[in-house]
Amino acid sequence: MSVLIYVELDNSSIKKTSLEAVAYGAKVASQTGGQAVVLALGKAENAELEKAGQYGATKVLHAADGKLEHENSLAFADALVQAATQEGSKIIILSKSGLSDAMAARAAAKLKAGIVSGVTALPETNGAFKVTRAIFTGKAFATTEIKSDIKVLVVRKNAIEIDESALNGGSATVEAFQPALRDSDFTASVVSIEKADSELSLTEAEIIVSGGRGMKGPEHWQPLIDLAKALGAATGCSKPVSDLDWRPHHEHIGQTGIKVAPNLYIACGISGAIQHLAGVNGSKCIVVINKDPEAPFFKAADYGIVGDVFDILPKLTEAAKSLK
Ligand SMILES: Cc1cc2nc3c(=O)[nH]c(=O)nc-3n(C[C@H](O)[C@H](O)[C@H](O)COP(=O)(O)OP(=O)(O)OC[C@H]3O[C@@H](n4cnc5c(N)ncnc54)[C@H](O)[C@@H]3O)c2cc1C
């Protein structure tokens, strides 16, 4: 029995969050006595896809059809179902994203599979198949039993720890895969894409430096950008900041914005309202800088600095530069 893992591509490379899903899938495969097979849709070099082997995959199915170059949840879900059927996969794993949630739901309906999204840990597979997932925007965890023959898991970032230095150096074999694509899946298609000029995507970033209303205005953002540059971090912001057009809307983090799960989240002049926390509580380590020692964000912080952001940010930037 195989475990099928769908990986998302960005500029012909496997996204980091998808490599985590491969590592997760490989562990599930070894728990259940199967092999980990990867599905990649769109343009990518074999050498890039073989990398999935380092994370425990034995085989990569690659559908390079030009029609699959742009995200299309209908066609991608169809391809996923066909790959699962071909491989006889009973467990299908995707890394959580807007695209994968849409694909997973469609594929689960077609395969009559039980689906759990927001999975935070490896499943229990001795006896009943149980998974833990985040609920109430990450404030609680629920254990769910999946009873169907086929199971679909949409896994949150950081669900398992990957020690990059201990990767096994293996290489997966890449096989061409040609799903039957239906014209009805392409009734709406991407005509052009304009990418945000930020170099790092918030959902993929290892480090995020984020600012709130405490930054006082767009003209005062440079110290935050300097720290982000020194750390190789992406920049984010609270909702009022993007509502006020101090920062672009794609930086808005929280319940109504992007949900992030970096290794390090540095919050500068953000109060820590529950709606903001809902977007950051998957972060491994949270550092809060706020001049108000009673700011609610400190309760969610791993490290807190009580002080003025405009004093602290330049010092952190200098320290980050000197460490390099
Ligand atoms: C339905 C709904 C959905 C929402 N969705 C979101 C969401 O997705 N994301 C989101 O962020 N918000 C969201 N909000 C808004 C949320 O409730 C808060 O109002 C918002 O997060 C507050 O933003 P802030 O922390 O930047 O500003 P404030 O609450 O104004 O906090 C500013 C903080 O900066 C500190 N500060 C001021 N000056 C300095 C200084 N010089 N140095 C250090 N610290 C300083 C202050 O002590 C304060 O804690 C939502 C609200 C609703 C009702």
- Tell me the pTM: 0.81
Ligand 1 centroid, distance to 279 Cα (angstroms): 13
State which of 241, 247, 275, 290 you would mutate to test the pocket of ligand 1, scoring each by most atoms of that ligand within 8 A of its C-beta: 275
Ligand 1 centroid, distance to 272 Cα (angstroms): 6
**Ligand 1 touching residue 25 (CB < 6 A):** no
CATH of domain 207-323: 3.40.50.1220
Domain boundaries for CATH 3.40.50.1220 within the chain: 207-323
Specify the residue with its C-alpha closest to ligand 1, atom 2: 275
Predicted local confidence at residue 199, as pLDDT: 63
Predicted local confidence at residue 39, as pLDDT: 98
Give residue-wise pLDDT tens across range 166-224: 677 788 999 999 999 999 999 988 888 877 665 678 988 999 999 999 999 999 999 99
Name the burial class of residue 167, with classes exposed (0-12), middle (13-18) and buried (19+) by CB atoms within 10 angstroms of its CB. middle
Position 164 confidence tier, pLDDT thresholds 50, 70, 90: confident
Domain boundaries for CATH 3.40.50.620 within the chain: 2-186
Ligand 1 centroid, distance to 297 Cα (angstroms): 10
Q: Which fold has domain 2-186?
A: Rossmann fold (3.40.50)
The annotated binding site for FAD is made up of 213, 269-276, 290
**Ligand 1 touching residue 256 (CB < 6 A):** yes
Give residue-wise pLDDT tens across range 261-284: 999 999 999 999 999 999 998 899
> 98 vs 61, 105, 166, 288, 319, CA distance in Å?
22, 11, 30, 28, 36
**Ligand 1 touching residue 132 (CB < 6 A):** no
Q: Could you tell me which residues come within 8 angstroms of residue 261 by beta carbon, excluding any fewer than 6 positions away?
A: 156, 157, 158, 282, 283, 284
Ligand 1 centroid, distance to 323 Cα (angstroms): 31
State which of 220, 246, 256, 258 you would mutate to test the pocket of ligand 1, scoring each by most atoms of that ligand within 8 A of its C-beta: 256
**pLDDT of 63 strictly over 80:** yes
**Ligand 1 touching residue 223 (CB < 6 A):** no
**Ligand 1 touching residue 269 (CB < 6 A):** yes
> 228 vs 1, 77, 124, 136, CA distance in Å?
45, 37, 39, 30
Separation of alpha carbons 272 and 207, rounded Å = 18
Q: In one letter, which amino acid is 86?
A: Q
* Mean confidence (pLDDT) of the chain: 94
**Ligand 1 touching residue 122 (CB < 6 A):** no
Ligand 1 centroid, distance to 232 Cα (angstroms): 24
**Ligand 1 touching residue 213 (CB < 6 A):** yes
**Ligand 1 touching residue 270 (CB < 6 A):** yes
Predicted local confidence at residue 93, as pLDDT: 98
Bridge partners for 114 per DSSP: 151
Predicted local confidence at residue 200, as pLDDT: 78
Separation of alpha carbons 131 and 116, rounded Å = 8
**pLDDT of 260 strictly over 80:** yes
Return the CA Rg of the chain: 21
Strands (E), the chain: 2-7, 9-10, 13-14, 35-41, 59-63, 91-95, 114-119, 130-135, 140-145, 151-155, 173-176, 207-211, 234-237, 264-268, 285-290, 303-306
Ligand 1 centroid, distance to 1 Cα (angstroms): 49
**Ligand 1 touching residue 199 (CB < 6 A):** no
Q: Which of 218, 322, 223, 203 is nearest to 265 (CA)?
A: 203
Specify the residue with its C-alpha closest to ligand 1, atom 42: 308
The annotated binding site is made up of 213, 269-276, 290
Mean pLDDT of 216-245: 97
Give residue-wise pLDDT tens across range 90-101: 999 999 999 999
Structure tokens that stand for 31 in this block: 């728990």
**Ligand 1 touching residue 154 (CB < 6 A):** no
Specify the residue with its C-alpha closest to ligand 1, atom 11: 238
